[in-house]
Amino acid sequence: MKTLSLTATRLVLSLAAAGIVGGASVGLVTGTHASAAANANAPVATQQAPMLAGAALPDFSQIAQRHGAAVVNISVIGKAGADEQQQASNQLPGIDPNDPFFEFFKRFQGPGAQGGREAPSRGQGSGFIISADGLVLTNAHVVRNAQRVTVKLTDRREFVAKVLGSDPKTDVAVLRIDAKDLPVVPLGNTKDLKVGEWVLAIGAPFGFENSVTAGVVSAKGRSLPDDSFVPFIQTDVAVNPGNSGGPLFNARGEVVGINSQIYSHTGGYQGLSFAIPMETALKVKDQIVATGKASHARLGVSVQEVNQTLAESFKLDKAAGALVSSVEPGGPADKAGLKVGDVIREVNGQPIVGSGDLPAFIGQSLPGDKVQLDVWRQGKAVNLNAQLGDASAKAEAVAANKNATDQGRLGLALRPLAPQEQRAVGVDGGLLVQDAQGPAALAGVQQGDVLLAVNGEKVQSVEQVRALLGRAKQSLALLIQRDGDQIFVPVQLG
């Protein structure tokens, strides 16, 4: 029942003297990986020494020489809001705010990071040319809130770019510049990409144009805890501000991804970088070129991981799948017959191993698409068919169906536990915490906790909690179960 809470944060740092344009400067440097074919052809000296030093390394210099000219530097000018300006004023690339020199260097950050709401701000990123007539791919966050976008080529030519469209859900944006006979990168896919292969990134970290970095593929199909529709490529390539939107090459010199983000506790690179697979980016590109926007499907469920305890409770042969924790009333899943407590194991024959695989798969489909769901329900396999809805309606649906307990004084979104969930956690009744904000979050209540009692009174429904909240004055005592332990959490009401 416990939802993993990751403390890593997305790195969004200013690269320009005047501030940040909506995160336009989130820079990523991703690495390089070697082709498996290189390993296959590498000579073997002896059985005791099957690999010679450097034998598996591709020729990075050839890739950089052939395709570096198609990688561009992107400069953005826009207007940042007060929150973004405050963030820019409190962050300097590579410098801890507690460092004695932080305030000294902050003086040189420029007025854009300290002024009023309408102060101009600047950011930088990377991109790459995919068509000789000027089509450029980059990250959506690079050009967010941009008023002027300039694309600079390696031959020093500069062009004012038009943003054809951007898709925040996948972090892909498409630009066009007025030029012909441009160098282009060859495009590949991640189908044959293997964990452990070398990959190569070219971009402009901290504005240093056409910098080359290398690393290996750490994982494929990585789902991140931000409602992303992207099955990310994880690498160990050093990433820094300014590489966002740049290409990730395989050892054959094909672009297999767009460098997008990192996880970091410190604001600097810590070995975790993520790239958008080229297949995902091209689907979004095609929609943007045709219509100016991208559409994504939704199923209308909230899901959570299946751990070993839940798998045993549901009589599953392994801890895999997406456990349905809530179903949007009247949504596609509801109409298809999905129920709370169902475990979605496959979609159109594709296995769902972790809960994050489901939104990544569904999000790459189109509204109106029909999918077949392999569901495990009460010890039996059930096949259901669903017609997907439009993800753009998700925010409205969530707002309309949120429980009243998260509106104001307490800050909790709750739902009753399914019978299987009650057995799994060993409780009779109780409510699952789907979201914790405001006073409850400040007190330490977390998503995935089970609320057992309020002020000593056992609770089994949202209405009961609402009634107890209505009688409360300044505080409440919540009895919470977490990881098999029960604790009282005092909450000062808002």
CB 451 within 8 A of CB 433: yes
DSSP string, 153-189: -TTS-EEEEEEEEEETTTTEEEEE-S-SS---PPB--
Sort residue 423 into left (φ over 0), alpha (ψ -120 to 50) or beta: alpha
Place of tokens 């767009």: 258
First-residue to last-residue Cα distance in the chain: 27
| Active-site annotation holds for 141 | yes
CA gap 68, 46 in Å, rounded: 38
Residue 237's contacts (CB-CB under 8 Å, 6 or more residues apart) are: 29, 30, 31, 32, 199, 201, 213, 214, 215, 248, 273
Partners of 10 in the β-ladder: 263
Of the candidates 141, 325, 355, 406, the residue annotated as catalytic is 141
Q: What DSSP string describes 74-117?
A: EEEEEE--HHHHHHHHH-BTTB-TTSTTHHHHHGGG-GGGTS-T
Catalytically annotated residue among 244, 302, 355, 365: 244
Active site includes 244? yes
Residue 84 amino acid letter: E
Residue 370 near residue 387, CB atoms below 8 Å: yes
d(CA 288, CA 260) in angstroms, rounded, equals 19
Which among 14, 35, 171, 313 is annotated as catalytic?
Answer: 171
**Residue 64 to residues 59, 71, 193, 300, Cα–Cα distance (Å):** 9, 10, 20, 44
Residue 67 bears catalytic tag = no
Which residues are annotated as catalytic?
Answer: 141, 171, 244
